[in-house]
Amino acid sequence: MDLASRVLDGDRRAVARLMSKAENEAPGVKKILAELHNHIGNAHIIGITGPPGSGKSTLVDKLTLEYRKQGKTVGIIAVDPTSPFTGGALLGDRIRMNEIALDKEVFIRSMGTRGHLGGLAKKTGDLVKILDAFGKDIILVETVGAGQSEVEIVGTAYSTVIVEVPGLGDDIQAIKAGILEIGDIFVVNKSDLDGADETARELDAMLDMNSNNLDWRPPILQTRAKDGNGISQVADALNDHMVHMKETGILYKLVRARTKDELEEIISENIRSYIDGTHGEEELEELVDRIMDGELDPYNAAEIFLKPFTG
Ligand SMILES: Nc1nc2c(ncn2[C@@H]2O[C@H](COP(=O)(O)OP(=O)(O)O)[C@@H](O)[C@H]2O)c(=O)[nH]1
Ligand SMILES: [Mg+2]
């Protein structure tokens, strides 16, 4: 059986192999992803982001247990660009060799980034796609929140959870900068610490000022992820958000817009590899000669080069 069929058949080792291929952009991987395309679109893709140490991994862990209780299957992708190697230390400080790591209905993958952020969002998107085709009901993507790349990574998700902790204080400006726009659900984790109510109120006030919230007012939930407290409310809110997205047609629009982006990206990639390929290289050299001979200008030369695409 080929790799795509094995993934669709529920073979976990095939999933791991295909993910490695996708991460390494191995030759032939596009063809396999193309075969999987008709089998995606069923998962609820959830992005979980927030500052380091806010409890994202703990939340992912506890949310997974909650979803498993509901009979749903779960895929997890952890992206941590701040960590130079991810190895096995996937879920935070100590790998939680608990129920979820042993559960055959849960698939966990950490993405090694080795300092290279380029293409990370696309690769994350490919891994999400593989888990979706694999049949996972829920896909959780954990990423450290700070900059643009993280915003792009959660751009793969349908619902985005922003995890904060009590005592925002100085962070408030940073939060204003980009997070309010992308958060569908706000979680104030570590509500056992002082100041959780105040942080929730501050977030609430900031959301009031944000005009993006005409369709969906992001709820602010307090959790104690470590003890599993407040987790089912987060799962409920995520479910409400997905229902809202479906009923209003927002999900369709979102998926369509992303499909367009993806298509554009694949087209430019293909043109790029055409240019870099042997045929393109020969033709380029020929055209450069003609420009040097004063026979052609670069503008017309480019048009000649692009003839196979423009017809
Ligand atoms: N006090 C408290 N600590 C928590 C809570 N949730 C997680 N932690 C701790 O916070 C630390 C960082 O958690 P982790 O999930 O690795 O955070 P991440 O970096 O955002 O993924 C760990 O030591 C957790 O045990 C909580 O609700 N209360
Ligand atoms: Mg973590």
Supply the pLDDT for residue 168: 64
Q: What is the dihedral of CA 21, 125, 132, 102, to 10 degrees?
A: 70
Does ligand 1 lie within 6 Å of residue 222's CB atom? no
Task: Determine whether the shortest distance from the Cβ of 145 to ligand 1 is under 6 A.
Answer: no
Q: From the alpha carbon of 223, which atom of ligand 1 is closest?
A: 27
Burial of residue 61 (number of CB atoms within 10 Å: 0-12, 13-18, 19+): buried
For strands 106-111 and 74-79, give the pairing.
parallel
Residue 4 included in any domain: no
Query: Residue 89: its pLDDT value, please?
Result: 43
Domain boundary among 223, 248, 273: 248
- Grouping H, G, I as helix, E, B as strand and the rest as coil, residue 205 is helix
Query: Measured from the CB, is residue 55 less than 6 Å from ligand 1?
Result: yes
By C-alpha distance, which of 28, 150, 132 is closest to 74? 132
Residue 42's CB: how many other CB atoms inside 10 A?
10
Residue 73, ligand 1, Cβ within 6 A? no
Q: Which amino acid is at 94?
A: R
Asked if 69 and 170 sit in the same domain, the reply is yes
Task: Give residues with Cβ within 8 angstroms of 250, minimum separation 6.
Answer: 215, 244
In a domain, 137, yes or no: yes
At 84 the pLDDT is 47
Are 91 and 78 a contacting pair, CB within 8 Å?
Answer: yes
Which of the listed residues 218, 248, 278 is the one where a domain comes to its end?
248
pLDDT of residue 115: 54
According to the model, what pLDDT value does residue 270 have? 87
78 CA to centre of ligand 2 in angstroms: 7
Residue 160 Cβ contacting ligand 1 at under 6 Å: no
Name the strand (E) or helix (H) holding 66: helix 56-69
Q: What is the pLDDT along the chain (311 residues), one digit of tens a residue?
A: 899 999 999 999 999 999 999 998 898 999 999 999 999 999 999 999 988 889 999 999 999 999 999 999 999 999 876 554 444 444 544 445 467 888 999 999 988 665 555 577 888 999 999 999 999 999 999 987 655 656 666 778 999 999 999 986 655 655 655 777 889 999 999 999 999 999 999 889 888 887 666 789 999 999 999 999 999 999 999 999 999 999 999 999 999 999 999 899 889 988 888 888 888 889 999 999 999 999 999 999 999 999 988 87
In terms of domains, do 214 and 71 share one?
Answer: yes
Residue 22 lies in a domain: no
Residue 279 is predicted with a pLDDT of 81
14 within domain boundaries: no
- Are residues 162 and 194 located together in one domain of the fold? yes
Task: Read off the CATH number of the domain in which 174 is found.
Answer: 3.40.50.300
Answer whether 49 contacts ligand 1 (Cβ < 6 A).
Answer: no
Q: According to the model, what pLDDT value does residue 128 have?
A: 96
Q: Ligand 1, atom 9: nearest CA belongs to which residue?
A: 55
Residues 151 and 276 in one domain: no
Q: Is the CB of 199 under 6 A from ligand 1?
A: no
Tell the residue nearest (CA) to atom 3 of ligand 1.
190
Q: Supply the pLDDT for residue 234.
A: 98
CA 100 to ligand 1 center in whole angstroms:
17
The domain in which residue 297 lies consists of: 261-310
pLDDT at 113: 63
Look at the block and give the residue holding tokens 């058949």: 9
The pLDDT of residue 93 is 42
Contact 159, 44 (CB under 8 A): yes
Q: Is residue 25 part of a domain?
A: no
Question: What ligand 1 atom has the least distance to the C-alpha of 229?
Answer: 27
Closest residue CA from atom 12 of ligand 1: 53
* Chain centre distance of CA 244: 20
**Distance from the alpha carbon of residue 54 to the mean position of ligand 1, in angstroms:** 6
86 and 229 housed in the same domain: yes
| Residue to mutate (ligand 1; options 48, 49, 56, 58; most atoms within 8 A of CB) | 58
Under 8 Å between Cβ of 241 and 250:
no
**Same domain, residue pair 236 and 272:** no
Task: Provide the b/e sequence for 180-214 (b: ≥16 CB within 10 Å).
Answer: bebbbbbbbbbbeeebbeebbebbeebbeeeeeee
Judgement on whether residues 139 and 228 belong to the same structural domain of the protein: yes
85 plus 224 within the same structural domain: yes
- Look at residues 227, 248, 269 and tell me which one is the last residue of a structural domain: 248
State if residue 122 touches ligand 1 by the CB under 6 angstroms criterion: no
Determine the pLDDT at residue 86: 42
Residue 53 CA to ligand 2 centre (angstroms): 7
**In the block, which residue shows the tokens 């192999």?**
17
- Is residue 24 domain-resident? no
Q: What is the pLDDT of residue 88?
A: 41
- Regarding whether 301 and 170 lie in a shared domain, the answer is no
Question: What total number of domains does the chain contain?
Answer: 2
> Is the residue at 2 inside a domain?
no
Q: Ligand 2 centroid vs 50 CA: distance in angstroms? A: 9
Q: Is the CB of 110 under 6 A from ligand 1?
A: no
User: Which ligand 1 atom is the nearest neighbour of the CA of 52?
Assistant: 19
Q: Are residues 190 and 101 in the same domain?
A: yes
Same domain, 78 and 214: yes
Q: For residue 64, what are the contacts with CB-CB under 8 A and spacing of at least 6?
A: 74, 76, 100, 106, 138, 140
Give residue 105 CA to ligand 1 midpoint distance, Å: 24
**Shared-domain flag, residues 96 and 165:** yes
- Asked whether residue 149 is domain-assigned, the answer is yes
